[in-house]
Amino acid sequence: MMPGKATIYRPSLTEVVKEDVATGADALALLEREIGPDRDREEIPFWRSDEGGAPCRAFRHKEGKQRSMPPNKLAQLAWEQAQVGDGVEPMNDTLVGTVVVITGELLNEV
């Protein structure tokens, strides 16, 4: 069993991509590959659990809107469902660009 899993939501895809991540370094490398270096990433607020209810952390490019990145409909739907599942009113925000959700034992390493 892998310590973590990354769910990758790319705006151009109609399905998500799931990858196992063995270490915190692997998760950070995946985040850099998919979103960019640490200085360009931010955690998405109020996305605390994945579709199965497992604790997670979700990340996006912090200047995605300023860079006119395309809307990410699959990530938007998953984020809204996560907020409702946590008893939070969905935020009035639109996710753009690639979104990566990390679950598992690596949450404190990313």
The two structure tokens encoding residue 48 = 């605390």
> Would you list the DSSP string of 65-84?
TTTTPPB-HHHHHHHHHHHH
In tens digits, the chain (110 residues) has pLDDT values of: 458 999 999 998 788 899 999 888 999 999 999 999 999 999 999 999 988 888 999 999 999 999 999 999 999 999 999 998 888 888 889 999 999 999 998 888 88
Instruction: Give the pLDDT confidence score for residue 10 in this predicted structure.
Output: 96
Number of domains in the chain: 1
> Would you list the DSSP string of 36-57?
-SGGGEEEPTT--B-TTS-BEE
In sequence order, what are the beta bridge partners of 20?
5
Q: How many CA atoms lie within 13 A of 14 on its CB side?
A: 0
Instruction: Give the pLDDT confidence score for residue 87 in this predicted structure.
Output: 83
Instruction: Give the pLDDT confidence score for residue 2 in this predicted structure.
Output: 57
Contact 101, 35 (CB under 8 A): no
Q: Which residues, 6 or more positions from 68, have their beta carbon under 8 angstroms from its beta carbon? A: none
Structural domain including 10 reads 4-109
